[in-house]
Chains A and B, each alone.
Chain A
């Protein structure tokens, strides 16, 4: 009997790649023939709350989650890097490092014996498994066929950048895009398809990837909280990566960008197409780690 998987994730939103990746992982585990459920959870005013019945959120103490899950048989809990281990003490926990520990507002503590699952290898030391997902909102085949005409519109994006920059002014003669504007994914795609440069204070955001796929050049204004080398490793060798203090936008090499863009689309296709097998391998690695096979 294979173990079940219990994934603790914040309520689904299109606006967070991290949250989406947890929900997508649950679906992918189900496709392997294993049972996987999502328990919605949030941190509200410093309290960790979870919803076990699909209706009500309960404030968790260190006993509640093990007690609720006790009837489930053998299982593995997967949650993001920002949750604290005190709520999951006696459980088989795979901590999914969707960012570096402590880089977001909610800062969790890890413990010995957790399975270290990293979204990107640099997110934690010695990960037990690396599971990167293609989280793009764009059809890759369409992106590959897209003709990139001259563009003149430039955007500023702040995202999580406010946490690492004292000020994030909208760059002169650009338009600020936010988490809630443009409101719909279709509008967001339309805007990026008309954009030349996306100047981002957030160095780890799906906006950068979406920009490349839609033909807009991502320019990182500040690598913090990472180093430039870390950002480069996270993005991978095929990503057309530009730092504002290293390039002159007036003399930008568009041809080089377009070539790198096609290479990056190939990388994304590979990521997408190999995902199901990677999830099977991940489950095997976890089950072996917790000796549940």
Chain B
């Protein structure tokens, strides 16, 4: 009912949408777009070719010229992008898969009042939009080598979680889990595998992969269902990335997360996330068995963690159910912020 009372807006999401399958932050924007469209708003993607420090916008998709061009801002120079065919192909696939509308020249829409959403990886305002929504999927500067967002005084701050931005005007916690990740029929003690993940962890710490593990990368395994198969056969996920959806996926498949480091966060901050403390084991509490598999040195540590994982999954589902309400609340706050 609330949706019918709200004015309808046009949103332009200026983001590296190509990364949708590798980045939960981008995926969260796509789900936001889909929900906004469902309640009557209009959404477009203005694709970013490269994020910080280039912040190059896609300008034309003229594949006949055997290149496409990007520019750093409206007045900036045009540059030919190498690898255009692969990039274009990838962009088209993502847009088609998620039903996204690409806009290459959003100037008119912006002049007519469209709201532009930038993820925190976009530092400046490459579309020169007067009404800017800054979406923080991670802490300011974490993924840009410490360089912080050039926030305008009138920008609207939206964040994924209090954990990443303590004083945002609105929060939309995105509790996404692919349906491939679910209960495993394989009892935890019968699992013969352990997996490791580096992800963003190499930005913050030295990485030494624990022995007798298989490394999951951003690229491999190449599908969610294969990743789920690995996790459903794993006792532990050793993660160097302390903020990745892989941790939730692991918990849903019954593999216990082990943080190999917490940077750029502290251990207590990790537990501040909306769904509650993240169930995990300490690496120091584990031993390697004769066959190379990992086990708790004290077997009594296991059951409480598996119980916490059950509670985490329930809490996650509750947040999934309230996702729509948080978006309605976000739109209400936009109306109030700009007195629209």
Contact = CB atoms under 8 A, between A and B. Distances in A.
B220 interface: yes
A133 B192 CA distance: 31
A48 B190 CA distance: 52
B213 interface: yes
B215 A153 contact: no
Task: Name B's interface SS.
Answer: loop
Interface stretch (A91-99, A169-177, A279-287): A169-177
B222 A176 contact: yes
A174 B229 contact: yes
B217 A190 contact: no
Contacts of B229: 153-154, 173-175
Interface residues of B, number: 24
B322 interface: no
A151 B193 CA distance: 10
A193 B214 contact: no
Nearest to B213: A190
B221 A175 contact: yes
A285 B45 CA distance: 71
Contacts of A190: 193-194, 212-214, 292
A146 B233 CA distance: 20
B214 A153 contact: no
Contact of A194 (B192, B219, B221, B225): B192
Contacts of B292: 190, 193
Contacts of B190: 149-150, 152
Contact of B230 (A151, A175, A178, A186): A175
Given A150-B190, A153-B233, A194-B192, A182 B215 contact: yes
Given A193-B192, A194-B192, A153 B291 contact: no
Contacts of A273: none
Nearest to A184: B215
A183 interface: yes
A193 B212 CA distance: 10
A229 B230 CA distance: 34
B213 A153 contact: no
A140 interface: no
